[in-house]
A = this chain, B = another copy of it.
Amino acid sequence: MTGLHEDRYFDPDPVVRQHARVLYDQSRALPIISPHGHVDPAILASNDAFQDPASLMITPDHYILRMLYSRGVPLESLGVAPIDGKPPHAERDPRKIWQTFADHWQLFRATPTRAWLEYELREVFGIQRELDSASAPLVYDAIVERLQSPEFRPRALFKRFNIEVLATTDAASDTLEHHKTLRNVELGGRVIPTLRPDALFRIAAPGWSAEVARLEHAGGGTIGSCAELVRALARRRADFKAMGATATDHAIVIPRTERLKDSEAERLFTKAGQRAATEDDQARFEAHLLMEMARLSVDDGLVMQLHAGSLRDHNELVHRRFGADRGGDIPVATEFTRNLRPLLNAYGNDTRFQLIVFTLDESTYSRELAPLASHYPAMLLGAPWWFHDSIEGLTRFRRQTTETAGIGNTAGFTDDTRAFCSIPARHDLARRVDANYLGGLVARHVIDMAEASEMAKALAYDLARRAYRLT
Contact = CB atoms under 8 A, between A and B. Distances in A.
A273 interface: no
Interface band, chain A: 35 or more
Given A115-B446, A331-B368, A441-B110, A67 B362 contact: no
Contacts of A16: 12
Interface string A382-394: 0000011011110
A69 B371 CA distance: 12
Nearest to A377: B72
Interface stretch (A93-101, A300-308, A310-318): A310-318
A156 interface: no
A363 B363 CA distance: 6
A344 to B, nearest CB: 7
A368 B164 CA distance: 35
A357 interface: no
A332 B328 contact: no
Nearest to A5: B445
Given A3-B446, A9-B446, A387 B404 contact: yes
A315 B344 contact: yes
Interface stretch (A178-186, A194-202, A335-343, A413-421): A335-343
Contact of A406 (B107, B361, B392, B446): B107
A445 B374 contact: no
A72 B351 contact: yes
B315 A376 contact: yes
Nearest to A104: B408
A127 interface: no
Given A69-B377, A70-B377, A387 B406 contact: no
A270 interface: no
A349 interface: yes
Of residues A69, A106, A112, A444, which shows the largest number of chain B Cβ atoms within 10 Å of its Cβ? Answer: A444
B330 A372 contact: yes
Contact of A330 (B15, B328, B375, B402): B375
A246 B6 CA distance: 46
A8 interface: yes
Interface of A: 2-5, 7-13, 15-16, 66-67, 69-72, 106-112, 115, 311, 314-318, 327-333, 335, 337-338, 341, 344-345, 348-349, 351, 360-363, 366-368, 370-377, 379, 387-388, 390-393, 399-400, 402-409, 440-441, 443-448, 451, 454-455
